[in-house]
Amino acid sequence: MNGEYCAMVGTSVSMADLSMYAHLSGQLDRLCEVVGFDGSDGRHLRLLRGLLGTQGEKSLTTPPEFPSNVADDTTPIEFSVAFDTTGECVVRVLGETVGSRSPREFLDEVAGEYGLVTDRLDAVADLFLPHEERQGPFTLWYSLIFRPGRAPKIKVYLNPQISGPAMADSLVNEGLRRLNIAEAYDPMIEHALRRGERDNFSFFALDLDDDPLARVKVYVSHEAADSADAELAAGLVPGTDPLLIREFLAVLGGGKGPFEQRPLVSSYSFVEGSGARPANYSVYLPIRSYVPDDEVASARARAVLAQYGFDGTKLDKALAAVSQRPLSAGVGLIAHVSLRMGEFGSGITVYLSSEAYQVLPARKRPVLGAVSCLR
Ligand code: TRP
């Protein structure tokens, strides 16, 4: 890590005595303010506290007892800010309940207050939640969604790999059948899982409300894929423009790929009963693996936001809401950037790490003209 930054941390009000909840709730409060979500009733913070449970009270100086895969530094929370072409900006919290609780406990705690409809989750629970306790890299993740002017929403992520890679395809196939979209399966395989073991179902997500547009979302991770693979995957969804994907990956990821560090991810959104064709496609680039530091990541993210006419100063404010360190002093504050397109709206989402436990060190930037300098 950059020496200057270490010195700064040493002299500032140190994070040392903060609890996980104290750290994350400050970040969430500030993010809500950036997008204009009115948090005066404190519901956003109560949800966060509930999600973290007793782990939230643990000091950040004690090593994580239950390392989570939600974020690289094992914090069980990741934030995101979604820019939508409607002009709306939404804050979301991806999180895992860690510790001794069973993964569904949080859901049972908040289901009443938020009027959650768990029918769809119940219909697939025996497939994706075969055990009471947490298994493997993840069992059940939550998303808390804070849209200005609306009540918070909650969504769940299930793990198609929960019973091993050999079972993933059949779990997704059966899950879709139970949700009345069996026809959706084959076209996804044809478009997004064409490369054998390198393309894998990685998340199966459900909205937990009774909105007629409540969605089922299926994610595919593409190991060592290039832009053309994502363009083909997008081709399943009417109205997607492959050129926009190519540009997005070129600007953010520095080229056409192949993206050989962390995988590109595709997702398809379905409305129940809508038939085989998903209504939306998103591509996610884990940008932190393709930039030396967050200053470069934020410049690239600003460039794609500008391309779509989004307000880049909001990104700066969001970054300032989660971190005070110099952007060049680490990498991974911006974890992913995604582009979504289709009937359910289009936009860009920037995923922000809380860096509660750790800032990952910046890598060296490439040096221009290094050879000629030696002469
Ligand atoms: N940290 C994990 C990863 O990078 C899971 C994850 C968190 C993720 N946010 C995500 C995956 C957004 C894809 C998109 O893979």
Rounded percentage of the chain residues whose pLDDT exceeds 70: 93
Nearest to 290 by CA among 250, 323, 322, 328: 250
CA 58, CA 95: separation in Å to the nearest integer?
Answer: 16
Q: How confident is the model at residue 73 (pLDDT cuts 50, 70, 90)?
A: very high
Residues 6+ apart with CB under 8 A from 162: 128, 129, 130, 135, 136, 139, 171
From the CA of 250, how far away is ligand 1's center (Å)? 20
Sequential DSSP letters for 169-199: HHHHHHHHHHTT-GGGHHHHHHHH--SGGGE
In terms of pLDDT, which residue wins out, 271 or 349?
349
The finding on whether 351 has its CB within 6 A of some atom of ligand 1 is yes
What is the atom index within ligand 1 of the atom nearest the CA of 72? 1
**Confidence (pTM):** 0.93
Quote the pLDDT of residue 65: 85
Spell out the domain ranges in the chain: 20-353
Region 69-79: what's the mean pLDDT?
Answer: 97
Q: What is the pLDDT of residues 99-113, one digit of tens each?
A: 878 889 999 999 999
If DSSP codes are grouped into helix, strand and coil, which group holds residue 245?
Answer: helix
The number of C-alpha atoms within 13 Å of 292 and in the hemisphere containing its C-beta is 10
Which of 14-18, 81-85, 138-142, 223-227 is the least confident region? Answer: 14-18
What is the atom index within ligand 1 of the atom nearest the CA of 219? 13
Quote the pLDDT of residue 15: 55
Residue nearest to atom 7 of ligand 1 (CA): 70
Region 317-325: what's the mean pLDDT?
Answer: 98
Quote the pLDDT of residue 99: 81
Q: How confident is the model at residue 5 (pLDDT cuts 50, 70, 90)?
A: very low
Q: Which two tokens stand for residue 167?
A: 């079972």
Residue nearest to atom 12 of ligand 1 (CA): 336
The C-alpha angle 153, 158, 164, rounded to 5 degrees, equals 170
Does residue 360 contact residue 333 with C-beta atoms inside 8 Å?
no
Nearest to 92 by CA among 102, 103, 84, 82: 82
Quote the pLDDT of residue 151: 94
Mean pLDDT of the chain: 91
Q: What is the pLDDT of residues 175-231, one digit of tens each?
A: 999 999 999 999 999 999 999 999 999 999 999 987 777 789 999 999 999 999 999
Does residue 159 contact residue 136 with C-beta atoms inside 8 Å?
yes
The finding on whether 336 has its CB within 6 A of some atom of ligand 1 is yes
What is the atom index within ligand 1 of the atom nearest the CA of 221? 13
The finding on whether 286 has its CB within 6 A of some atom of ligand 1 is yes
Region 74-89: what's the mean pLDDT?
Answer: 97
Residue nearest to atom 6 of ligand 1 (CA): 70
Q: How confident is the model at residue 8 (pLDDT cuts 50, 70, 90)?
A: very low
Q: What is the pLDDT of residues 324-364, one digit of tens each?
A: 999 999 999 999 999 999 987 899 999 999 999 999 999 99
Q: How confident is the model at residue 374 (pLDDT cuts 50, 70, 90)?
A: low
In this model, does residue 9 exceed pLDDT 80?
no
Q: How confident is the model at residue 371 (pLDDT cuts 50, 70, 90)?
A: low
Among 75, 202, 351, name the best residue to mutate to test ligand 1's pocket (greatest count of ligand atoms within 8 A of Cβ). Answer: 351
The finding on whether 284 has its CB within 6 A of some atom of ligand 1 is yes
Residue nearest to atom 9 of ligand 1 (CA): 70
Does residue 70 contact residue 367 with C-beta atoms inside 8 Å?
no
Rounded percentage of the chain residues whose pLDDT exceeds 90: 81
